[in-house]
Structure 1
Amino acid sequence: MRGLLRFVLNVIWLILAGLPLALAYLLAGVICCILIVTIPWGIASFRIASYVLWPFGRTVVQRPTAGLGSAVGNVIWILVAGIWLVIGHIASAAALAVTIIGIPLAIAEIKIIPITLTPLGRQIVPSDTVFASYGNAGHV
């Protein structure tokens, strides 16, 4: 039954929020890859694009090997693209929260904001993975 609920939520999400957000992340990723130096941000943006297309049943955890480079990269990302993508998530969440069926989707929008702000040093894993509940990919 949980699987069916996730599927229904993902389909509704895909139609109402997933496609526009994924296109925004894809655009940011293409721009980052064109600039060569920012390819790591482009790859992270593509990873998030796949996540925002079908988020229910997956979660985001910290990579245990993330270090200072990820932190510095995230600060640059926030200034260049992260803040604009967060504004998109907030606007989409506000629009979704108007309807009763949209409230869980609006909550999901807000939960995506941390990976939008700091994509480097994070990993997307299935929610039912043993270590997903610990918030760290290193715990097994």
Structure 2
Amino acid sequence: MIRLILNILWFIFGGWLSGLLWLLGGAILAITIVGLPYTAAAWRIAGFSFWPFGKEVVSRESLGMSDVGTGGVGLLLNIIWFIFAGWYIALSHLLIAVAEFVSIIGIPFALKDLQLAMLALAPVGKTVVEKP
């Protein structure tokens, strides 16, 4: 019940915008040839941005998934992502988290923004799973 309330509050106070921006970014990436490998990661992050409570970010390798997002190719893709998009997306989530930490009621939301910031730094090779 708490997760549902937190997700509804998150969605109302900005989660919808964050998720839509990640969806739009993924769609723009899908249009380009070079951005195509990042599209799935952006859309996974969009789902997490819409409704983050009750979910966690894990490495695809830890789940036994071996694909382009793991290993050396994934590292290269994450470096390119960090240079062209990740650092400023992460910075925006970090600034929002600092503002949320100021109020005691905003701490759970700040923690989710910090998770989104970490995810924005290197999204390739990560996935979002439901917490038990």
Shorter-normalised TM-score: what interval?
0.7 to 0.9
Per the TM alignment, residue 31 of structure 1 is displaced from its structure 2 partner at its CA by 2.0
User: Relative to total residues, which structure has the larger helix share, 1 or 2?
Assistant: 2
Structure 1 runs, 4 residues or longer, greater than 6 Å off: none
Partner of 1:86: 90
Partner of 1:125: 129
Partner of 1:134: none
Partner of 1:25: 22
Q: In structure 2, which of residues 107, 112, 132 is the aligned counterpart of residue 108 of structure 1?
A: 112
Per the TM alignment, residue 119 of structure 1 is displaced from its structure 2 partner at its CA by 0.8
2: CA distance between counterparts of 1:24 and 1:98? Answer: 25
Question: Is the 1:24–1:85 contact (alpha carbons within 8 Å) kept by the matching residues of 2?
Answer: no
Q: Which moved further from structure 2: 94-103 or 83-92? A: 94-103
Question: Is the 1:44–1:119 contact (alpha carbons within 8 Å) kept by the matching residues of 2?
Answer: yes
Question: Is the 1:25–1:49 contact (alpha carbons within 8 Å) kept by the matching residues of 2?
Answer: yes
Deviations 1:44-100 (A, max 9, x none): 111101111101111111112211111100001111111121122012212322322
2: CA distance between counterparts of 1:29 and 1:111? Answer: 19
Per the TM alignment, residue 42 of structure 1 is displaced from its structure 2 partner at its CA by 1.6
With normalisation by structure 1, the TM-score equals: 0.82
Question: Is the 1:9–1:56 contact (alpha carbons within 8 Å) kept by the matching residues of 2?
Answer: yes
1: CA distance between counterparts of 2:13 and 2:79? Answer: 30
Q: Which runs of 5+ in 1 are unaligned?
A: 129-140
Question: Is the 1:58–1:127 contact (alpha carbons within 8 Å) kept by the matching residues of 2?
Answer: yes
With normalisation by structure 2, the TM-score equals: 0.86
After superposition, residues 21-100 of structure 1 pair within 5 angstroms as 21-64=18-61, 65=66, 66-100=70-104
Per the TM alignment, residue 34 of structure 1 is displaced from its structure 2 partner at its CA by 1.5
2: CA distance between counterparts of 1:99 and 1:12? Answer: 15
Aligned length: 125
The root-mean-square deviation of aligned C-alpha atoms, in Å, is 1.4
Q: Which runs of 5+ in 2 are unaligned?
A: none
1: CA distance between counterparts of 2:22 and 2:46? Answer: 5
